[in-house]
Structure 1
Amino acid sequence: METANIADRASSLKRMLRHQTIDAILNELDGTIMNLSREMRLEKYRKMAESPFRFFRGSAYLFYFDVTKIPFSFHTPEDKPIWIQGDLHIENFGAFQNEKGDFVFDVNDFDEGTMGSYLYDLLRMSASIALFCEAEGYTEEEQEARIHTYLKAYTDQMKRFAKGKDDPVTFYFTSENSKNPVRKLLKKLKKRRMNKLLDDYTELNDQGVRSFKWSEEIQHASEHESVMIKEAWKDYIASLDKNDQRDLSYYKIKDISKKLGSGTASIGLDRFYVLIEGDEGEHGLDDLVLEVKEVRAPIPGYFLPAGREFWEEHAHQGERVISTQKAMHHHEDPFLGYVTMEGRHFYIRERSPVKKKLKAKHIDGPQQMDEALDTMGRITAKIHARADADLADSFLTHHSEMEILKAIGSDTRRFADQISFTAMGYKRQTNADYAIFCEWLNQYENEEQ
């Protein structure tokens, strides 16, 4: 009886301490550091409360707080850092059209890009695979099998890069070299009308002038916000790569809107859409929509020992994000630029006219899940292997694929087993944390303001 009581009290104590940890991290990161208002925090937390996967997506700081304490056998040396994506999960891959006109499947979010161990990208992605598959009814054994598929693809592709069989600088996936369901997704994307984005977000007036049409998602920018963006526009154009710059008339601003309904991690950060002239096509069909997004220091940066040289070179957070995208993408967006407005950092990119996410409804069973994860594993290898000495202006002097393969060693199964074991454990921790978080949120909602 007494032993059972001790076991119950021990369980209660661990839960209480985890509750305190979650409370402290949420208050410090979202409250003190991110300076989110109570209203913004509630908006974010209510999204996170939708499911364990949404909670995982919105609590990257908790993930890094936890996993950076775990000893791993496969880290690359600290003096040979890897440029990591920083928030790699299954929904940060997608299909879109690049500036060369190719329909590609690739990583599509770079806000958390920083220097660190490649293991954190693999572990975060692997935990997301387990959570995603669990929501689709996969058993734990099936979840582990899917993680192993992803990790095998990653290590196999790294070996191909190291042996010179593939070049990470030119390696990317289209419908011609991908499997279902990615191939199907890309083929569907090709059928989309190129002016669908303009039809969705803009309209022509009686004089044939195009402007944004207003909705719950697309709102008027205030006069102050419009002036702020217009005053910074020359700085944006100056930040573009010289080879990408066009005549000033090409970047003429036609309209500005404020984008609402941001992703979970972006709540509290301003985002605008800017309609520019582009080429002078009939009915304004060559008009372009650019996204102006506020960005802050990457969450992994609070927990990973990125070198001073990296932060000195990428002191502007908008510049850091676009540099990460340029480093990891085969063909970069020619509209990638950055500005500082009112002391805040922003990056600017084209809002892709056609893009599509790979969702659970697109994946029919374990075989298609494996085919999608095989592609994602190879893309992860590509972004790690590409963002290194292969780039002409990189401060990294080593080849990431070589350092990563050295760290993994010859026993790739042992490597995959350790990552999978840790990811599955973290999935279970996430489920337990989610239950605690939902209780915490209920208390937070009922606190006196």
Structure 2
Amino acid sequence: MTLTAHELGSGPVHTQERDPVSILVAQDRNRLQDLIPVRHQRMAVTPFTFFRGAAALMAADLASVPHSGIRTQLCGDAHLSNFGLFLSPERQMVFDLNDFDEAYPGPFEWDVKRLAASMAVAARANGADDRDARRAARRAARAYRRTIITSAQQSVLDCWYDKVDVDKVLAEIGDLLDTTASRNMRKILKKARHRNSEQALAKLCVVEDGRLRIKNDPPLLIPAEEVFVRAPAAYVHEMFAERFERYRAGIAPHLGTLLDQYTFVEAARKVVGVGSVGTRCWIMLFVGKENGDPLFLQLKEAQESVLAPYVDPVDFDNQGRRVVIGQQLMQASSDVLLGWLRGPVYASDDRGVARGAAGESDFYVRQLRDGKGSVVVEGMPVDRLSLYGELCGTVLAQAHARTAARGEIADYVDGLGKSFDRAIADWSLRYAELNDADHAKWVEAVSTGAISAAAMD
């Protein structure tokens, strides 16, 4: 169907039957129960952290109103904090989308609305009034519209390889930033360039009796031997070595040769993000010739995308493969070690004894901290936030333009012109207001004990 600008900006629908707490708590059933209070607490901190963890809620809200029907590969969770800096395989710093847990094909504007709404939520949380928050969301939508139109005029290969070069961005917008902002951005870039496996080694590991070990920092970081505390160390080691072999069997032979030069040392459970807390996430430490030559791989559980119940189904044989395909389609330069596996999920009793496989789950695999860094949007002044949102809107359009739908998307947004920007901005401001109300209900549920929450730093 072809939506008018009025229809595009309609909603979100807010009914008495819509219970945000129930929708989000329903996700807890498939998560590690001892980490659920951590997730609840992180979502309670601010309206923006709540928004970050509430992708399932927004998916239901998006599905409650008409959509364009123009289908493309979606990130599924394209909020401001899911864009970031990382090193490409060519070891160049790039800025791109960096989270694809909810990746799924669907209506293109769902990603745009998720991004623009995050702009409005963040702006309001940072003290901006509604006028400035709406303007920030509109600028992100405008950047998306202009970029997708330009991308549709490029050749297929030019569109595929198009990306935002971080140094070029600084050269172009650095003079628009105040001195402090520009300096802070450069500090972020410098930090990201050194945020690799060696930096992770210093932060996550210790040397005990000449042996490299992962730190024990519960509940955020726990070595696998401490998770399964009564199981023999050799048994725990073999559990993860077997998972690694399943992953290795599915990657390209030349990458297998690369990985064969490393020796597996240890695995640990690591808590990451906001919305991801409670899903199974492990890091695996490998070393090359010596302790100072580390490689960290992250094994992250991949569950069904929050978008899947609301769009035409796609038959993925493995949810980890779904995530990897989405990432490879949308990123200009993806991690060469991306992969997936289906591995056993081990049960344990209250003493931490591994009792063998209790079913299987899907995982995707990636490098941990391959030059990764991000911009902290909390507290960012609205003028800087708007510039950052424009950059994210540009990147999102480039990601959508790598699929065959770019021409149809471009024709649609070009036909609406500035009305597209205004419609997305209207939606975003209303959603920010709804998000504030939902966050208040979440905080109340935490404070009354209706849902559990852990005290976190």
Q: Give the deviation of 1:353 after TM superposition.
A: 4.2
Decide whether aligned partners of structure 1 residues 271 and 130 sit closer, same or farther in structure 2, where only a CA change above 3 A counts. same
Name the stretch that deviates more: 160-169 or 134-143: 160-169
2:83–2:374: 8 Å Cα contact kept in structure 1?
Answer: yes
Cα distance in 2 for partners of 1:432, 1:384 equals: 31
Q: Deviations over 1:253-305 (max 9, x none)?
A: 1222221x332222221211111234x3xx43322111111121111112222
Given the superposition, is the C-alpha separation of residues 164 and 248 from structure 1 closer, same or farther in structure 2, using an over 3 Å criterion?
closer
Q: Secondary structure at the match of 2:283?
A: strand
Q: Deviations over 1:320-367 (max 9, x none)?
A: 11111111222221211111112111111110243221013784x444
In structure 2, relative to structure 1, the CA distance for the partners of 1:113 and 1:210 (3 Å cut) is same
After TM superposition, the structure 1 = structure 2 runs for residues 70-219 of structure 1, keeping only pairs within 5 Å, are 70-72=65-67, 75-77=68-70, 81-164=71-154, 167-178=158-169, 179-180=173-174, 184=186, 187-189=189-191, 192=194, 195-207=198-210, 209-216=211-218, 217-219=220-222
Q: Could you say which residue in structure 2 is the equivalent of 1:52?
A: 47
Give the aligned partner of residue 228 of structure 1.
239
Q: Tell me the equivalent position of 1:276.
A: 286
d(CA) in 1 for partners of 2:327, 2:444: 38
Distance in 2 (CA, whole Å) between partners of 1:373 and 1:144 is 12
Cross-structure match for 1:17: 16
Identity within the alignment, %: 23
Distance 1:126 1:193, change over 3 A: closer
Mapped pair 1:401 → 2:406:
yes
- Is 1:293–2:300 an aligned residue pair? yes
Q: Which amino acid aligns with 1:60?
A: A
**CA-to-partner distance for each residue in 1:133-181, whole Å, 9 max, x for gaps?**
1111111111111112111111111122111189232122233221346
Distance 1:60 1:27 in 2: 12
**Range that drifts further, 161-170 or 316-325:** 161-170
Q: Which moved more, 1:90-99 or 1:190-199?
A: 190-199
Q: CA deviation at 1:401?
A: 1.2
Distance 2:379 2:188 in 1: 12
Does the residue aligned with 2:312 lie in a helix, a strand or coil?
coil
The within-5 A match list for 1:198-347 is: 198-207=201-210, 209-216=211-218, 217-221=220-224, 222=228, 223=233, 225-247=236-258, 249-259=260-270, 261-278=271-288, 280=289, 283-306=290-313, 310-311=314-315, 314-342=316-344, 343-347=360-364
The letter of the residue matching 1:355 is K
Task: Tell me the distance in 1 between the aligned counterparts of 2:382 and 2:43.
Answer: 27
CA–CA distance in structure 2, aligned partners of residues 247 and 329 of structure 1: 23
> Match for 2:396 among 368, 371, 380?
380
Aligned length: 403
Secondary structure of the equivalent of 1:273? strand
| Equivalent AA in structure 2 for residue 21 of structure 1 | D
Paired position in structure 2 for 1:7: none
Which amino acid in structure 1 is aligned with residue 161 of structure 2?
Answer: T
Question: TM-score by structure 1 length?
Answer: 0.82
* 1:357 aligned residue: 374
Deviates more, 1:288-297 or 1:229-238: 229-238
Contact preservation (8 Å) 1:174, 1:186: no
Query: Is the 2:86–2:192 contact (alpha carbons within 8 Å) kept by the matching residues of 1?
Result: no
Aligned counterparts of 2:418 and 2:258: Cα–Cα separation in 1: 54
CA contact (8 A) 1:250 1:276 kept: no
Read off the aligned partner of 2:416 and give its amino acid letter: D
Q: Do 1:158 and 1:401's aligned partners in 2 also have CA atoms closer than 8 Å?
A: yes
Unaligned 5+ residue runs, structure 1?
1-13, 389-398
Match of 1:30 in 2: 28
- Give the 3 Å change call, closer, same or farther, for CA 41–204 of structure 1 in structure 2: closer
Task: Measure the CA separation in 2 of the matches of 1:170 and 1:248.
Answer: 27
- Aligned with residue 437 of structure 1, among 419, 437, 442: 442
Distance 2:14 2:246 in 1: 51
Alpha-carbon contact 2:262-2:287 (below 8 Å) kept: yes
Work out whether residues 103 and 189 of structure 1, in 8 Å CA contact, stay in contact via their aligned partners in 2: no
Contact 2:246 2:341 (C-alpha < 8 Å) held by counterparts: yes
Distance 1:297 1:271 in 2: 15
Instruction: Give the whole-Å Cα distance in 2 for the aligned partners of 1:40 and 1:336.
Output: 26
Instruction: Please list the CA deviations of residues 175-223 of structure 1 after superposition, one character each: whole Å capped at 9, or x if unmatched.
Output: 322134686255423663752222112234554x433233333322034
Which moves more between the two structures, 222-231 or 325-334? Answer: 222-231
Query: What's the secondary structure of 2:167's corresponding residue?
Result: coil
Pick closer, same or farther for the CA change 1:22–1:186 going to 2, 3 Å.
closer
Match of 1:67 among 62, 67, 74: 62
Query: Is 1:423 aligned to residue 428 of structure 2?
Result: yes
TM-score, reference length from structure 2: 0.81
- One-letter identity of the residue aligned with 2:20: I
**Any idea what the Cα deviations from partners look like across 1:51-88, whole Å, max 9, x if unmatched?**
1112222222221112211124xx144xxx20000011
> Does 1 or 2 have the higher relative contact order (CA < 8 Å, sep 6+)?
2
Q: Look up the equivalent residue of 2:154 and give its one-letter code.
A: G
Q: 1:406 and 1:70, CA in 2 relative to 1: closer, same or farther beyond 3 A?
A: same
Q: How far apart, in 2, do the equivalents of 1:316 and 1:429 lie? A: 34
Deviation at 1:241, TM superposition (A): 3.0
Work out the CA distance in 1 between the residues paired with 2:431 and 2:163. Answer: 30
Name the aligned partner's letter for residue 417 of structure 2. Answer: T
1:411 aligns to 2:435 (yes or no): no
The 3-state SS of whatever aligns with 1:210 is strand
